[in-house]
Structure 1
Amino acid sequence: MAAVPSVPSFDEIRSKTFEYFNKRPCAWQVHICQEILHGDRDLISIAGTGMGKTLTFWMPLIFRPQGIQLVITPLNILGEQNTAILHRIGIEAIFISGTTAKPEIFQDIASLRYRVVIANPEELMREHGGFEMLLQDKIFNSHLISIIVDEAHCISQWGSFRSDYRDIGRLRLFQRKLCPILATSATMSTGVIEDVKKVLRLREESLFVSRCSTDRSNIAIIVRPIVNPIYSYRELSFVLGDWEPGNPPPPKFIVFFDNIKYSVDAGHYLRGLLPKDEQSCINWFNSDMSDEFKRSEAERFAHGETWGLLATDSFGMGMDLPDIKLVVQYCAPTSISMLWQRFGRCVRDPSLNGIAILLAEKEYFDHLKNTTKKRKRGITTKTEPGSTAKRAKVRPLSDPTNNLSRIDDVPLDDDEGDGEQEDDTDNEQDEDEDGDEERDEDGRKEMQKDRNKRTHGMKKSKKKSKKDQIEPAIIDLLNAGQRGLGCRRRIFTDTFQNSKAARWLSSLPSCSS
């Protein structure tokens, strides 16, 4: 490969990116591109969902005409999605999966046919696989611009059951010449960042960290206890609003679950509330589904043929659908990072407003613990999944951003009054900005330190109850009002250290200038 050309200027990168991709990059995107092109530093990029981290993967290709980008993705559907997008704009790309990891394909890659190569960790780290030889190939390695680890928080979050994630750093042992590694995510806490640096063997002495705020001010955050039997799924009937045959579909929604069976059961319940002809408008989406089904269902959802999905993380990270108005997490997740990733599927179009709702078990709310214990001595009935039980009476949900300005307006079936909370909605726009200025910063830091200690002090054993696994930040989120922690949004802000976001970037040209 010829000598590395000089790194283009800020203005040149912006103009060329607009020319090639019809998108004018923000200052932080330009700086990441410049650092990748310099080629002598590893990078961590933290920015909110939908802010354009993926664009920074492709920008360097403009200025290295023979360069190659290697991207590691957690989900096959994301690899396929990115490959299709690149093909549409004339960039040769390939996603390596179990069906495409063939010797002739790796020969094509080694002969520099593709500008972008995308793979999941399992294919990348396959013993004696194509990548091991590829990264030792002198010619291929000399053309490699950078290795990109997309959704890098998965190294910590998924490493326990996808062990190849913990081995990605071994790539550096294969390389004849090191190239930059770029680790990106919208949800990396301090602990996750340290883990990522260690696993990927990032060169810490020269590490470049780009940190933008991960806040999504166009998403209202609501927390509500589940007051009906959990496995009845009655709490979810509100997502259909007052829909009747002949009416427009309800706002596009996703309900996330931590368990595949629960997502399917909930799907049967919601289908049972609809006439037979419309039942196919509700579907479940999880890792048990074939890749072909996932592709088809993602298309149906994008085009509005599917109204809502009951999903696990198989539908989540990186899916670029701009108009999902409502995201619900059913039952408390164990990780604050996981929750914010799921909430981040909501209204990726910044011109839209949407709502993210956490429906959690009563036992995790401080003021409802006694109530929960009493109810355990009572008798509850379980609604069988798929039953055609009469739909609970619900209020209209024609536009969640208009109808759900306060928690009391959330159209959930609320037969049991003891589950109510005061002021459960946090829809911050400008009203909290002044409060941020006045907040006791030292107190916030101490609060986060205590939360970190509780997180790191959690017992590590193979068998733990869900209660033992839940991060302290989740419990604080559920009880923010009762514990005097203020706005729930600040739990996310503190966890992901949004206060450290590079404030000086605001003085540089913006995306729209």
Structure 2
Amino acid sequence: MTNREILKKYFGHESFKDIQEEVIVNLLAGNNSLCLMPTGGGKSIIYQVAGLQTGKITIVISPLLALMKQQHKRLEEQAISVLSYNSSIGDLKTQYNKLRKAFSGAEQPKFLFVSPEKMLSDGYLEFIIKKYRSKIGLFVVDEAHCISQWGHTFRPSYKTIPLFIQNVYGADKVPPILCLTATLNPLDKAEICEELNIEDKNTFISHHLLRNNLHLSILEQVDNNTEKKDQLTEILNRHHDQKIIVYTHIKARDYGTREMAKAFQEKGFNCHHFDADMSDNEKLAILEQFESGELKIVFATSAFGMGIDIPDIRVVVHYLIPESIEQYYQEVGRAGRDKQPAHCYLLFSETNFKIRRDLIKKSLLKTKRIKDIFETSIKPVSNANSILKKKNEDNTSNDKVYSLSKIDIREDNSEMVIFLYLLKKRFIQLEGKGIQFFDCFDDNSNSALYNLMKGASINGMITRIARKLNKSIQQVNHDIFTMFNHDEIKLNRVPINVLNYKVVSELTDDLSSELHDVLNLRVKNRLENFEKLVELIRQKENPIQAVSKHLGITVAFGYS
């Protein structure tokens, strides 16, 4: 089938729009590509058509469970085989079993959705991808702006995507990689292209990045939070019974997601909070209620909205000033995806400027804090002092093996930033990605290797088994996953995924200062970007014209 025939058969569209077809053709020619298209502009169609056209598996790396669920559902509705490898399908025991089943038959899923945190921590996922690497036709990095350390949405685990691909393919040819996002500043773009080997000629930017159905309003400055709440109340009443996102951007304080949702619930509004502290199931429940219209108003941090495709959101309110023009642009883009008129309001007081500056400044780690994290989290003196519950075995300092588990690898935390920096500087050496204890498996075939491993460690600790059998941790995990894949062993309980590593050098004062300088540069860049937004607000320009000018884009008049 041609690209257009695939588009028609599976997605019901007669023709491509904007730059979709250009990017598809470029990918199918084997080129790594970066694509910038507006929110709701049809980015997912690019990888869906290109992926189907390859006739192979497409790996989609996505930052949010809710986003994976939406895309999964739409592909499934078209009778396209798809697997989302995450907690939505059950605990880790269930995930292992479903991943094995999906790849054990003659036909593998056409699309596999995973998070960057999964790629970093899940050894069985890497084992499967490596085993079937010749059947993979495309890698997709969705919301690619999360890669950049300069952006407000930086996710540390995104930085390990190139390492994952290198571990899988080694010297073999890698399938094309597609990076998707709505907008990037020059620093973000340069970093992403360098990390994923994208040439400038393979960067595609939509001709119309800002939709003309969005009505952007910056309200008059108020003196205090009480007056701002009055402004918000008036907006919510004016848009009664419409779907509304109110961005507060923080969880705590009286203007955070939870207190604001509580206050407006007491006023009779149909609302709820949404932030990173909620469980995955709680997030999915709120998203489904909002999508169906059962819930009308969501008070959210930036955790809500990235890539979420709900077409009939009519209003976006920025109750706390966003961090940059790019963030403002991305978040107003949540509204009006159905091309019907939508309204976006930015509320502010002079105090809000100070609050945002303080939030950015407080994110900078002092050198003492960097050393504390190293000594208590990355190379703990003892397990009792370990914040992240690292396990170590040997007595020789440089031979100790530590492990990061799922609880350590969160969306954005200081420990991971420092860990990845030390990994890049080769102060940390990875020893293997897999499970922590072997006793989660039972013998299913009277396997000699199973019995050998069981005899090597009473509690089944993988690091001890590796030492007793004189094998690398990586090889022991490979042997375990091979037995599991051949149904020689079976899971009796939920395994614990870990990333094993050694600390080969101490954290010196010079390296602490170097890392502090890098983090300080990031904070400085974030502050500079914020001041550009402040200038936009103070000048009282037409917001659409000001945003378009800053981003170097045109407004999509008549865009469809």
Q: Considering the TM-score relative to the shorter chain, is it more than 0.5?
A: yes
1:61: Cα distance to partner? 3.7
Q: Does the Cα contact within 8 Å between 1:151 and 1:185 map onto a contact in 2?
A: yes
Which secondary structure does the structure 2 equivalent of 1:260 belong to?
coil
Q: Of the candidates 172, 177, 185, which is equivalent to residue 189 of structure 1?
A: 185
Is residue 488 from structure 1 mapped to residue 479 from structure 2 by the alignment?
no
Query: Aligned partners of 1:191, 1:348: CA distance in 2, in Å?
Result: 28
Contact 2:58 2:112 in 1 (8 A): yes
**Of residues 301, 312, 337 in structure 2, which corresponds to 1:348?**
337
The equivalences for 1:82-481 within 5 A come to 82-98=71-87, 99=90, 102-111=95-104, 112-126=107-121, 129-137=123-131, 140-156=132-148, 162-173=155-166, 174-175=168-169, 176-200=172-196, 202-204=197-199, 207-230=202-225, 233-241=229-237, 249-261=240-252, 262-274=256-268, 279=269, 281-350=270-339, 352-362=340-350, 460-461=519-520, 468=527, 471-481=530-540
| SS of equivalent residue, structure 2 residue 19 | helix
Q: CA deviation at 1:474?
A: 0.8
Q: Is the 8 A contact 2:85 2:99 kept in 1?
A: no
TM-score (norm 2): 0.62
CA offset digits 1:475-499 (Å, max 9, x no partner): 1220233xxxx53323322333326
In 1: Cα distance, 2:522 partner to 2:202 partner:
37
| 1:22 matches 2:12 | yes
The percent identity for this pair of structures is 23
State the shift of 1:462 in Å.
9.1
Distance 2:264 2:80 in 1: 42
Contact 2:214-2:344 at 8 Å conserved across structures:
yes
Residues 203 and 318 of structure 1: CA distance in aligned 2, closer, same or farther (over 3 Å): closer
CA apart distance, 1:459: 9.5
Distance in 2 (alpha carbons) for counterparts of 1:163 and 1:109: 29
The 1:172–1:68 alpha-carbon spacing in structure 2 relative to 1, beyond 3 Å, is same
3-state DSSP of counterpart to 2:219: strand
* 1:35 match: 26
Deviation at 1:225, TM superposition (A): 4.5
What is the aligned partner in structure 2 of residue 386 from structure 1?
none
**Aligned-partner SS, 1:103:** helix
The answer to whether the 8 Å contact 1:476/1:491 transfers is no
1:296 is displaced (CA, Å) by: 2.2
1:45-60 to 2 correspondences below 5 Å:
45-60=35-50
Report if aligned partners of 1:228, 1:234 keep a CA contact under 8 Å in 2. Answer: no
Residues 106 and 364 of structure 1: CA distance in aligned 2, closer, same or farther (over 3 Å)? closer
The one-letter code sitting in structure 2 at the alignment partner of 1:317 is M
Deviations 1:430-480 (A, max 9, x none): xxxxxxxxxxxxxxxxxxxxxxxxxxxx99529979994652321122023
Aligned counterparts of 1:199 and 1:259: Cα–Cα separation in 2: 30
SS in structure 2 opposite 1:54?
Answer: helix
Supply the distance in 1 between the matched residues of 2:535 and 2:276 (Cα, whole angstroms): 30
**Distance in 1 between the 2:191 and 2:550 partners?**
15
**C-alpha displacement of 1:195:** 1.5
CA distance in 1, matches of 2:53, 2:152: 34
Quote how far apart the aligned CAs of 1:27 are.
Answer: 5.0
Distance in 1, Cα, partners of 2:237 & 2:342: 15
Aligned length: 383
Q: Deviations over 1:166-215 (max 9, x none)?
A: 12121331323211111111121222111211232x24276343433211
Structure 1 gap ranges (5+) = 1-7, 244-248, 367-457
Structure 1 residues 108 and 206, CA gap change in structure 2 (3 angstroms): farther
SS in 1 for 2:302: coil
TM-score, length basis structure 1: 0.67
RMSD: 3.2
**Mapped contact 1:17–1:62 kept (Cα < 8 A):** no
Q: Determine helix, strand or coil for the equivalent of 2:59.
A: strand
Output the CA distance in 2 between the equivalents of 1:94 and 1:467. Answer: 37
